Every structure is written in structure tokens, then in C-alpha cells.
Amino acid sequence: MNKMISKSKIEFCNYVWNTYWGCEFNCFYCFAKNIANRFWENILEKEMLYRHQQVVNTDKPFIYHHEYEKLKRQLKNFEPVFLHSNFERDFPRKPSIIFVNSMSDIAFWEIEDIKKVINRIKLNPKYIFLFFTKSAWLYEALIKDHGIQFPSNCYLGVTTDGRKYNFYAETLKYLKDNGNNVLLVIEPYIKQIHYEPLEYMIKQVNWVIVGQMTGIHASKNETKKEWLEILVKICALNKIPYFVKNNLVYKIGGLNQYYPDLIEKLCQIK
Ligand code: SF4
């Protein structure tokens, strides 16, 4: 038996399954990078122990030193790297919402690793799996160019902070029209998306999550109450479930945390 995936404090999911650590987008507000800076040495130790056990249990040559130095550099610099020890972790007993990449953006995953993750998801239909990327086009490329079919228990999340979204809408439409569950994540919402493009994007998705910035840059990058009110109004008008993260709830006067029917049913959320 392997160790179980980690419980999460992120309010819209129950667990995180971080098969990758690292991202090259280098967003100035990256929370994952702060976590990596604190814990990369622990991960290095666990991953090397896991890889060492795999090598010892097979006829492969002993490659410890070379791999150790490479992995150390990758984890220390927050370069994208596949973590075998995390990939192999067990899933919980109960149906749950599992966030697949809170420590990376799948734009930097190797295609073969994405396929491995999808194959494992296919074997585990009682969970909901959330993917996030700032490269909205990626899903379309994975489907069209690499023949990847996302199972129906996946939500394909496209994230923006409001500064770049021009090319998102058509991709979102393509994904939804082709039967995928699509998620729009506006977090941290730091620049207003105007009504029309926002409404057009929201109409193409099955779920919306919104949150504001926390940490040292928060005061200069606040999500305005009126931006949030517009977003909520559009979601309500178009009957799209939306989830306002805890850090923004006080601006909207109520919990406003809704899930799509599929997630409610599968994960028995009341
Ligand atoms: S895309 Fe996400 S993981 Fe990557 S740098 Fe930006 S906030 Fe961090």
C-alpha cells in the first residue's frame, strides 16, 4: 500500500494529487512557488527514496547521484518535474474532488505523463479530477493532436487573472461543444474583465471559480466588489454554478459556493 494523496485546505476540493511540481509561467503572485521554496528538500528526499527503492527492486543500474543532483536543481528552481512517488499515491476511500495540479501548470507536463494521469483517472470513476492551466489552447491540442479523451469525471480548468484571456473563449466553446466539463477560474482576479467577454466565456463553461489575491501583493491587487457582483450576476442569469473562494466571500454577503450537479451527485455534497 502507498501513502494516500494529501488532504487540501483549498476550499473547492478535498485532496491534491500533485504528480508534478514546478511551473515556468513565473507569476508574481505564485503561491505554489512559495510552498516549493519551503518544502522542496522534503520532496527531494521522498522522491529519491522512492526512485531508489524502484531501482533496487529491479535490475537497473544504480543511478542515484546523477538523478539526485538533477532533481535537486529542478525542485530548488521550481522547474517542472514528474514525481513518481506522488503519482503512485493511493486515493481515498470516499468519492472526492481531487485537484490534479495545485503545484504546477499542466502546460509544462510531458504528454506521456498527461496520458499516464488520464489512464489512472479512467480507472477511478468515483472521483472528480480538476485540471488547471493558463494555456487554454492546450486541451484542444491534446485532444486534436494527441488523441487524448478526457473522461467525464474530469473538469478542464482554464485560469486567468483578468489580464490575458483574449483567446480563451473559442477554446472554451470547442471543449464544451465536444462534451467536456469546462471550468473557468478567475483567480486572483486582479484586472476587470468587461461584461461582454466575461459573459461570453461564462456561457461556454460548466463551473466558475473566483478568488482574490492574498499575501504581500494583495493590497495593490484587490478584486473590486463591483467586478465580483457582475460575475455573480452573469453566472446567475446563465444558470452556471459559481464558487466564490473564502477570501472573497465577505464582499458578496453570503457563502455563494455552488458546485455543478455532476460533482454534487458524485461527491454527495449537500
Ligand atoms: S501558472 Fe500557477 S503555478 Fe504557474 S507560476 Fe502562475 S500561479 Fe504559479
Q: Pull the grid cell for residue 200.
A: 461570453
30 lines ligand 1 (CB under 6 A): yes
167 within a domain of the structure (yes/no): yes
85 within a domain of the structure (yes/no): no
Q: What's the confidence (pLDDT) of residue 56? A: 63
Ligand 1 centroid distance, CA of 107 (Å): 10
Q: What's the confidence (pLDDT) of residue 40? A: 97
Ligand 1 centroid distance, CA of 69 (Å): 24
Low-confidence ranges of the chain (pLDDT < 70): 55-64, 270
224 within a domain of the structure (yes/no): yes
Q: What's the confidence (pLDDT) of residue 59? A: 58
44 within a domain of the structure (yes/no): no
161 lines ligand 1 (CB under 6 A): no
Q: Which domain holds residue 241?
A: 6-23+94-267
Output the domain CATH number for residue 182: 3.80.30
Q: Torsion angle of alpha carbons 101, 105, 109, 111, nearest 10°? A: 90
23 lines ligand 1 (CB under 6 A): yes
At 248, which amino acid appears? L
- Domains of the chain: total: 1
28 lines ligand 1 (CB under 6 A): no
Ligand 1 nearest-atom number relative to CA 25:
5
59 within a domain of the structure (yes/no): no
pLDDT in tens, 73-131: 999 999 999 999 999 999 999 999 999 999 999 999 999 999 999 999 999 999 999 99
82 within a domain of the structure (yes/no): no
Cα gap 197→63, rounded to integer Å: 52
